[in-house]
Structure 1
């Protein structure tokens, strides 16, 4: 039930065309103080139209405004404030949730439309660090949110599997590598070789030239070099998939940079045909001064292609393959100019769907205030963090609930959930200082806090001994009404999260709902045998439905017992 619509409809009938319905609806606010009511309408805009004091208009409106769902109307200064009847309105809201179940909050505006999401995209032969967590979990959550809005999401892992660095790695392996060591622990050993190459190259510049020559052989398809590259790629993907399994993340495509090697010439040919390519210091570029952007480099002076060339080819491929309505690139904010260049070049090529490409930037994980770097060794490995979080969760469970069934699975859900939630509760554009201690705090605004609130709701329902929890005849206490008002907002929060491409809306919402439910639990004897018992249990059931679905949208599990 849209309380704003009820209020705006009543206001519209009183105002008789002074403001449009949309103007009225968009002006409605939630009062800062709950004692002032549930919703408020400021009269400042009307004061200019009617040439009256806003407080006088508020008094006038308060005297004439009425609706069956509204129990109280007051004028407080320049605001008209309304309080809804908690029993009448609450019943409609809770009944809707109970009837719709996990479908509550769903939208249809994305029906028959596809969203491709470029996310995660680690480099092969390098450790999966905390630096890749953000793209992975933000992208995964955006896919769930898109699906909730009716879209078909396509998760794409654009693996970094091409470039000069692989020539360097191949040289390092041939000089110092051990096949058995790589087989035993592929990522760690390949990363050691990668670091050794840079250490040695600092005093032996010839190594850099060897690396470039090895990559040229790879580009030319030389058999031995190509087989080594394929081996490194396969071993890396297997190691990555272990981490994705821990995170509960799946992909529809693992097409990396190398996949687009034979698809770049088409882009280059199109740019030439449109006379968009220019030579600059031996390189080929597309000028973008009209977009206030630096030139987009398509080919280096030695003929080598670049990230931009591959990204342009990838965009063309994805549009043809998926016919996307939107294409989201969940990539760090340092790539903002790059994506502006890509969309601008596609626009110059005449592709109007370039306007549907969106860069979804995010801040960095910092370590001691500095960007994490695999080359400089300033890196925290994600798998180690996840395993430590699971161990800590298991220890917590053994202490508080030693007889819990499926303790291993619950510990995994809680530990991994703590890491994911800590990321998603932050505004995605903010940097996050890496702190294992704050990530693994199981109190306050954390994933485990939300999961425990949901598990508590399930515990209450189990203890009741009832078979169903679908009878809600309305409640009038302030605590239950606070919960119901939050439950009503869930569809709106999902729409906002989708529009802003920001899971933090949902993460913050779950904190508010869990806190409200815990206040209700602390003050109310939910299982008391009286005439309102069934309604209280139905409300608890509604809370669990919404918390479970909200956690799912964030990529977290919702254990029913903890």
Structure 2
């Protein structure tokens, strides 16, 4: 709102469009330089004046009731908001809208499908799968806040050659009683052993492929084992998802498309898009300087690309999406380039709506975690440890806290989720249980504790809370918080546009730090004529912290 006012004032003075001007307006790094800044350097050549003189002329010419000062500093025009006016306005918005503050109708009810999490069955849910799950969940929440109808799809890896290998390993070394008693860990041991043995015996790889061919051809015994592996895995995954508060609208995995792929292969044939390459069927992408997309192997087995083509077409027909998002690691970037281009060659203009949202890896000792080598950190174990640590902390510092177990769960899980989401999506980061569970610094528990502190203040002084109007003195003292509260809708929009939840994580850290600084300097509950205004500010901060955490998939306890 205020940025638009500044843009309109500048546009009128410069005889330019407000749309063009608003893109150039920045936020100063330091609050003492104002709330908005317009750089004049690009105008110097056009006006044949120094940026400093242009800024000085503009500052002298411009004025508006929303700004207490418009000044020239170096080559910038700085706009300082009227703190009482702007502070009262944002507090009114937050207190009226509560969790809806920052909502928009940008999506206009359009459907977005989002492919997230997608772990492989018969393997433990490792820390390596955390990123797609929590990034995808947060993006879903951000898009819903923008007015999109989001369909969350867990495209589980329940088909492929690896299941032939696993069945082969089970047949050779598996013991039914041991596997039934401890299914996922025992299956992981078999999978790791298969790759260790295959390194010494090349024939094993062929035996694994043979078992997968049997599975594809409907062999009753192979299918019975596969269904057992899948059912147990989904039950195990369900426990982890419930702990993290993540839900899905569909768990149609790769196997769901088994009876739907032939139609797509025939369509590719009819459109003369298939070529033979060393016996395999491919779609050539030479004109895009990309390798061909493999549709069928020489032995007739389908591939990952075949399934994703089929899934994309099915989702468009079923959900009528305007956007289809895939939250998948950056190592799959080529695959998604090929997917879009094959769909484009098939004549599907809607392929423009497909977006791959890549992310960096969780590293262990600087290397990617590997299921094949058994180098895994299991997510459920990390969550359990985090919850236990949170419970121990509560027992030490607040033993009489109500709902201790639930609060420990919210804090422990929140610590793990926040540690992931605070990193920029595209960056790799090193797994560190110690850093993840730290309750001070830029962590989830720090933000949760700040929300609990604000909630406690409101509980103690709630009867004194005033309306949204704040006096100039209170607004000035609280301005670092009020300024950030004004920025929340932009933070939500920027995080959604860039599919990057780390922007919300950074935002709630900044707001929590601003609040704790205010808490350390101001006697918030002092019973004077301004207590109502101070508590109104506290209520607004608590509301926005809670909503910010919710957008990250994290709960905000009222007591800790």
In the superposition, the TM-score normalised over structure 1's length comes to 0.97
Question: Residues of 2 paired with 1:469 and 1:221: CA distance?
Answer: 70
The yes-or-no answer on 1:392 pairing with 2:389 is yes
* Structure 1 residues 135 and 209, CA gap change in structure 2 (3 angstroms): same
- Counterpart of 1:519 in structure 2 is 517
Residues 475 and 532, structure 1, Cα contact 8 Å, conserved in 2:
no
- Counterpart of 2:57 in structure 1 is 60
- Counterpart of 2:496 in structure 1 is 498
* Structure 1 residues 465 and 44, CA gap change in structure 2 (3 angstroms): closer
Question: Residues of 2 paired with 1:216 and 1:52: CA distance?
Answer: 75
- Aligned positions of 1:293-372 closer than 5 A: 293-372=290-369
Counterpart of 1:76 (choices 73, 96, 109) is: 73
Question: Residues of 1 paired with 2:248 and 2:512: CA distance?
Answer: 31
Question: Residues of 1 paired with 2:464 and 2:33: CA distance?
Answer: 39
Instruction: After TM superposition, give the deviation of residue 465 of structure 1 in Å.
Output: 4.2
Question: Residues of 2 paired with 1:76 and 1:208: CA distance?
Answer: 70
The yes-or-no answer on 1:10 pairing with 2:14 is no
- Counterpart of 1:159 in structure 2 is 156
5+ residue gaps, structure 2, are none
- Counterpart of 2:209 in structure 1 is 212
Residues 88 and 474, structure 1, Cα contact 8 Å, conserved in 2:
no
Counterpart of 2:538 (choices 531, 537, 540) is: 540
Residues 118 and 155, structure 1, Cα contact 8 Å, conserved in 2:
yes
Residues 326-358 of structure 1, C-alpha deviations (whole Å, 9 max, x = no match): 111100000000000000000000101101100
* Structure 1 residues 469 and 115, CA gap change in structure 2 (3 angstroms): farther
- Counterpart of 1:227 in structure 2 is 224
- Counterpart of 2:487 in structure 1 is 489
Q: Secondary structure at the match of 1:414?
A: helix
5+ residue gaps, structure 1, are none
- Aligned positions of 1:64-213 closer than 5 A: 64-213=61-210
Instruction: After TM superposition, give the deviation of residue 182 of structure 1 in Å.
Output: 2.3
Residues 330-389 of structure 1, C-alpha deviations (whole Å, 9 max, x = no match): 000000000000000000001011011000000111111111101112111111111001
* Structure 1 residues 58 and 467, CA gap change in structure 2 (3 angstroms): closer
Instruction: After TM superposition, give the deviation of residue 108 of structure 1 in Å.
Output: 0.3
State the number of aligned residues: 559
Residues 497 and 504, structure 1, Cα contact 8 Å, conserved in 2:
yes
- Aligned positions of 1:253-268 closer than 5 A: 253-268=250-265
Residues 154-181 of structure 1, C-alpha deviations (whole Å, 9 max, x = no match): 1111111111221222222233323332
The yes-or-no answer on 1:248 pairing with 2:245 is yes
Q: Secondary structure at the match of 2:385?
A: helix
Question: Residues of 1 paired with 2:452 and 2:548: CA distance?
Answer: 14
Residues 31 and 480, structure 2, Cα contact 8 Å, conserved in 1:
no
Residues 48-90 of structure 1, C-alpha deviations (whole Å, 9 max, x = no match): 3322222112111111211111111221121111211100111
Q: Secondary structure at the match of 1:362?
A: coil
Residues 86 and 476, structure 1, Cα contact 8 Å, conserved in 2:
no
- CA root-mean-square deviation: 1.4
Residues 183-240 of structure 1, C-alpha deviations (whole Å, 9 max, x = no match): 3221111111222223333444443333222222211112122111101100011011
Greater CA drift, 443-452 or 41-50:
41-50
Greater CA drift, 548-557 or 48-57:
48-57
Residues 62 and 70, structure 2, Cα contact 8 Å, conserved in 1:
yes
Q: Secondary structure at the match of 1:262?
A: coil
Residues 475 and 535, structure 1, Cα contact 8 Å, conserved in 2:
no
Residues 471 and 534, structure 1, Cα contact 8 Å, conserved in 2:
no
The yes-or-no answer on 1:43 pairing with 2:40 is yes
- Counterpart of 1:431 in structure 2 is 428
Instruction: After TM superposition, give the deviation of residue 550 of structure 1 in Å.
Output: 0.6
Residues 88 and 468, structure 2, Cα contact 8 Å, conserved in 1:
no
* Structure 1 residues 468 and 179, CA gap change in structure 2 (3 angstroms): farther
Residues 474-504 of structure 1, C-alpha deviations (whole Å, 9 max, x = no match): 4435441111110011111111111101101
Residues 72 and 78, structure 2, Cα contact 8 Å, conserved in 1:
yes
Q: Secondary structure at the match of 1:542?
A: helix
Instruction: After TM superposition, give the deviation of residue 535 of structure 1 in Å.
Output: 1.0
The yes-or-no answer on 1:236 pairing with 2:248 is no
Residues 128 and 381, structure 1, Cα contact 8 Å, conserved in 2:
yes
Question: Residues of 1 paired with 2:332 and 2:170: CA distance?
Answer: 31
- Counterpart of 1:34 in structure 2 is 31
Instruction: After TM superposition, give the deviation of residue 23 of structure 1 in Å.
Output: 2.1
Instruction: After TM superposition, give the deviation of residue 521 of structure 1 in Å.
Output: 0.8
Residues 55 and 77, structure 2, Cα contact 8 Å, conserved in 1:
yes
* Structure 1 residues 32 and 468, CA gap change in structure 2 (3 angstroms): closer
In the superposition, the TM-score normalised over structure 2's length comes to 0.97
Q: Secondary structure at the match of 1:466?
A: helix
